[in-house]
Amino acid sequence: MTLSIAIAGAAGRMGQAIAAAAGADPRFSIAGGTERAQALGALCGFALSTDAAAAAANAQVWIDFTTPAATLDALNALSSTPVRVAIIGTTGLTPAQEQQVAAHATRIAIVRSGNFSLGVNLLAALVRQAAKALGPEWDIEITEAHHRRKVDAPSGTALLLGEAAAKGRGAALADVRLPAREGITGARPEGGIGFAVVRGGGIVGEHTVAFAAEREVLTLSHQALDRAVFADGALAAAAWAAAKPPGLYSMADVLGL
């Protein structure tokens, strides 16, 4: 039996990647999608609407890589639809918005991740393991690079990696995250996790986690070459979550990490 999906922002870069991946996968059919009014004429091969409830009227799964406000509006609207699974790849949510997403997980299964790539989620597992093994004298620096159109920084993936590193050290990221550096910053405090951001051109996504000691540096990295890796991961998460009860899940749950 196929799973019917509705795609938020279906005419955008990620929306098109998800539609292409779903169209080539016999496990899925596309029931509809949303777009802004000015993009409703886009050729997607399925009906587009500005209204999430209308787009998902015949869908079991909602896939959303849009903006925080649009994602929350859509989750509210989905209560009147047959959707029972939501795959949320939206980044830049505030802690309060994260709590709102979690509240919806009491009625549907939600897989929420800053990155749906298999490689990135394996990287996060390795980062957590390395952080647990190495002491606070090993400085942790996370560098990420994305295309010029990305609006949030650090990326959701960089924060995912930061959370993995902090968890490996038994800490919350909020307690060990270092502020952005500019001007006379003083010496680096021990045990902190720093972030550096690059924006330019059409970079799909590059992430590096460096563990730096006085005499050696360990570097773990990942480079995305095509947005299709995120679409493939989102569909894998959808297929997995379709058999799960309501709850908030991560890609680590999907992959059994």
How far CA 22 is from CA of 1, 15, 17, 90, in Å, comes to 14, 10, 9, 19
Q: Which of 242, 13, 225, 250 is nearest to 121 (CA)?
A: 250
Q: Which amino acid is at 236?
A: A
Question: Which of 104, 146, 207, 222 is labelled catalytic?
Answer: 146
Alpha helices in the chain (DSSP H): 13-23, 52-55, 68-77, 95-104, 118-133, 156-168, 173-176, 228-241, 251-255
Query: Is position 150 annotated as part of the catalytic site?
Result: yes
Distance CA 174, CA 118 (A): 25
Q: What one-character DSSP code corresponds to residue 9?
A: T
Asked whether 173 and 163 are in contact (CB, 8 A), the reply is yes
Question: Which of 150, 167, 207, 244 is labelled catalytic?
Answer: 150
User: What residues are annotated to the active site?
Assistant: 146, 150
